[in-house]
Amino acid sequence: MSDAFNPASQQFVALVLAADRTGKDPITQHTGAACKAFAPVDGIPMIIRVLDTLMACNQISSIILCGPPESLHAHCPELKQRIVSGQVKWLPNMDSPSRSAESGLNHVCRNTPVLLTTADHALLTPGIVQNFLQKSLAANSDATVGAINQNVIAAAFPNAKRTVIRLNDGGFCGCNLFTFKPQGRSVVKFWRKAEDLRKRPWRLIAQVLGFKTVLSYLLGSLTLHQALAAVSEKSGVTIQAIMLDDPRAGVDVDKVEDLVLAESILRSES
């Protein structure tokens, strides 16, 4: 099989990270679910919401799920049925997000582009995904990362508390959406290095961003483009931000307040 990438095909394999890494997860404790991915959001397990969204996208050819552990599947019969029927390919999660992503990528043909997202993205819609994938295919880069301006979220959901990266050209929130064209897959090894160095901050700064980039950030002069250019240079993979405009793209369910917000949004739309 040829390794040539054909963007005209516009078909992605979706890779969903759904590991259950701690029994102290606030969502698990609050809902009593067997794991975070099974926590109900307005009555539907969040992992089912994510899978339904991906299955509704004509640019998604298949879905791979990394986690939760097989021993927990009986707690979510609908997920178990989808795995047994072959609608979803399940893989055991590894001991970190980057290693789970690498394992998933190893099960995808080399010339197939991959969408990476997470099981806690309960507000994800087919429209958000299709918009992100179309812009990613058109991008002149090996990998893309979804981002949204903080002001877009604040205007729609004034009380939402999101993690904001404050740069010279604005405040930005991540959207837990990434794509990898064939040449972009090696960025996962760079991600793994960053995870391995997280307890050694100065080496992390030096190897992942570089002191010049960090200094620019501390001085308030670093832009989003410059930040991604620094990571691209260090990783050897060209990375581009895809700016999204749907505020739901920037809301995942990490905290109880996120769950309350997500449910209020879903109920207002029904």
Q: In 10 A of CB 28, how many CB atoms?
A: 18
Could you tell me which residues come within 8 angstroms of residue 85 by beta carbon, excluding any fewer than 6 positions away?
Answer: none
Q: 9 pLDDT exceeds 70? A: no
pLDDT for 216? 84
The tens digit of pLDDT for each residue in 249-263 reads 999 999 999 999 999
Q: 7 pLDDT exceeds 60? A: no
Q: 95 pLDDT exceeds 80? A: yes
Q: In 10 A of CB 106, how many CB atoms?
A: 11
Average pLDDT, the chain: 91
- Residues 262, 123: contact at Cβ < 8 Å? yes
| pTM to 2 decimal places | 0.92
The tens digit of pLDDT for each residue in 17-41 reads 998 766 689 999 999 999 999 999 9
Q: 42 pLDDT exceeds 90? A: yes
pLDDT for 140? 94
| Domain residue limits, the chain | 12-269
Q: 1 pLDDT exceeds 70? A: no
Q: 3 pLDDT exceeds 70? A: no
Please give the torsion angle defined by the CA atoms of residues 55, 108, 37 and 131, in that order, rounded to the nearest 10 degrees: -50
| Domain 12-269 listed as CATH 3.90.550.10 | yes
Instruction: Give one DSSP letter per residue of 56-115, joined into a string.
Output: T-TTEEEEEEE-S-GGGGGG-HHHHHHHHHTSSEEE---SSHHHHHHHHHTTS-TTS-EE
The tens digit of pLDDT for each residue in 56-66 reads 999 999 999 99
- In percent, how much of the chain has pLDDT > 70? 91
pLDDT for 199? 56
